């Protein structure tokens, strides 16, 4: 039996509004290192979005490498890390040879040439030195790498191309794994949207937003025993339980704070279905939303209690037609007077009750930094009253795809 620990979507370097999550991530990585040791994990799988940005901060990179140094060379047989859509493939791949010496197998990105795909094969050695299992380390794959061309194609044709090419990729890799280690269990990774995603899932789509939605579960070759998925930030099974999303290990926004965070312990032997045990990640910091008049919110800040190791993040919404100058300073002062320590006030907003021209906070559009290029194009067309038909949308996709290819070629 081989024991895997599946996690993803760390988003090291992420902020909540403008507040760093560095301490939150440090506590998670400390806990994860302890779980690896206590639960006698053989293989750690990180299914993409190691970092929050393609150019992560020095602090985020230090946390990543210190964690790998801490866990490498102990009982773990292998660490397998793949890039997500937030990661820079070349940045993750840069220290590949050095990390190989620590039994850390990294695949930041996938090249178009099939002769390079063997680097996605990661054999897992057993105690006797023989191959015990094979991991198909598949990172986020941009569709043009698989020959998908969307210009002048309708949605049904595009969806069919995606299904065909992604299925062919996993089948080809499963064939290679069979030749490498006949009869050994095959485990795969993927950083994509598969199966039905809830409207509350963030982010819900990853390829051609609004066009194909999620990829079908049958893209994964039936020989694959378990699929370790990343990208969706909620933990749940897909593919009839053959695949799982582990979700993000810390709550990255208010929506994620409403559900528990998990990593997944997966036991796989030579026969039978994998045994998956979700492990709750300890909540070290809560995210609260306080709403009321200015005195009411101030009182609640002074009386707020919590059980986590770190003071909670607080979103404050003041219900008033007029908020006096200095209201935010008053709330910060109230937080400082909390006998348990100061809650971290990350945002103070006014509930617009009678401003007819104002848009309620919950309906406010996301900032441009959180949108994909096609989202921005759709918004621009709407603002300028331009009819967005299939021809115009496909022309935009063709230009965007050419730009992506030019950027990749320049790397």
Lowest-pLDDT choice from 102-116, 176-190, 213-227, 357-371: 357-371
- Over 90: is that where the pLDDT of 377 sits? no
Task: Find the angle CA(64)-CA(67)-CA(69) to the nearest 5 degrees.
Answer: 110
C-alpha 173/C-alpha 224 separation (Å) is: 10
Closest Cα to residue 344, out of 67, 22, 3?
22
C-alpha 185/C-alpha 43 separation (Å) is: 13
Would you state the structure tokens that stand for residue 256, as one six-digit string? 């994620």
Give the model's pLDDT for residue 12: 98
Q: Rounded mean pLDDT of 197-210?
A: 60
212 vs 274: which has the higher pLDDT: 274
- Over 70: is that where the pLDDT of 65 sits? yes
Would you state the structure tokens that stand for residue 204, as one six-digit string? 């819900």
- Over 90: is that where the pLDDT of 312 sits? yes
Residue whose tokens read 């030579």 = 270
Task: Find the angle CA(277)-CA(281)-CA(285) to the nearest 5 degrees.
Answer: 165
C-alpha 80/C-alpha 43 separation (Å) is: 7
C-alpha 330/C-alpha 302 separation (Å) is: 11
66-114 residue pLDDT tens = 999 999 877 899 999 999 999 999 999 999 999 999 999 999 999 989 9
**Model-level pTM?**
0.83
* DSSP helix/strand/coil, 325: coil
Q: Rounded mean pLDDT of 238-245?
A: 91
Strands 313-319 and 243-245: unpaired
* DSSP helix/strand/coil, 123: strand
C-alpha 89/C-alpha 116 separation (Å) is: 14
């Amino acid at each position: 039996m081989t024991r895997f620990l599946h996690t993803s979507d760390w988003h090291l370097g992420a902020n909540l509004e403008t507040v760093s999550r560095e301490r939150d991530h440090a506590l998670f990585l400390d806990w994860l290192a302890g779980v690896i040791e206590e639960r006698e994990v053989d293989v750690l799988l990180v299914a993409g979005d190691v970092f929050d940005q393609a150019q992560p901060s020095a602090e985020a990179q230090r946390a990543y490498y210190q964690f790998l140094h801490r866990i490498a060379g102990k009982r773990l047989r292998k660490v397998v890390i793949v890039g997500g859509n937030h990661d820079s493939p070349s940045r993750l791949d840069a220290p590949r040879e050095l990390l190989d010496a620590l039994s850390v197998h990294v695949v930041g990105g996938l090249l178009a040439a099939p002769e390079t795909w063997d680097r996605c094969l990661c054999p897992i050695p057993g105690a006797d030195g023989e191959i015990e299992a094979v991991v198909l380390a598949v990172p986020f794959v941009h569709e043009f790498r698989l020959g998908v061309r969307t210009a002048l194609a309708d949605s049904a044709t595009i969806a069919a191309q995606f299904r065909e090419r992604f299925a062919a990729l996993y089948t080809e890799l499963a064939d290679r794994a069979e030749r490498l280690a006949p009869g050994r269990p095959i485990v795969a990774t993927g950083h994509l949207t598969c199966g039905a995603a809830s409207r509350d899932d963030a982010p819900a789509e990853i390829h051609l937003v609004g066009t194909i939605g999620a990829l079908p579960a049958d893209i994964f070759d039936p020989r694959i025993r378990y699929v370790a998925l990343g990208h969706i930030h909620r933990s749940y099974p897909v593919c009839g339980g053959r695949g799982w999303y582990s979700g993000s290990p810390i709550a990255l926004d208010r929506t994620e704070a409403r559900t528990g965070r998990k990593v997944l312990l997966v036991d796989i032997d030579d026969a039978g279905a994998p045994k998956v045990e979700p492990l709750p990640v300890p909540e070290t910091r809560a995210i609260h939303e306080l709403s009321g008049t200015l005195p009411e919110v101030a009182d609640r800040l002074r009386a707020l209690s919590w059980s986590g190791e770190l003071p909670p993040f607080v979103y404050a919404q003041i219900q008033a037609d007029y908020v006096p100058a200095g209201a935010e300073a008053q709330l910060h002062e109230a937080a400082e007077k909390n006998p348990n320590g100061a809650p971290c006030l990350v945002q103070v907003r006014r509930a617009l009750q009678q401003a007819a021209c104002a848009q309620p906070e919950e309906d406010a559009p996301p900032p441009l930094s959180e949108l994909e290029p096609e989202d921005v194009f759709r918004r621009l067309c709407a603002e300028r009253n331009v009819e967005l038909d299939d021809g115009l949308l496909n022309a935009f996709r063709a230009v965007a795809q050419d730009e992506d290819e030019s950027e990749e070629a320049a790397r």
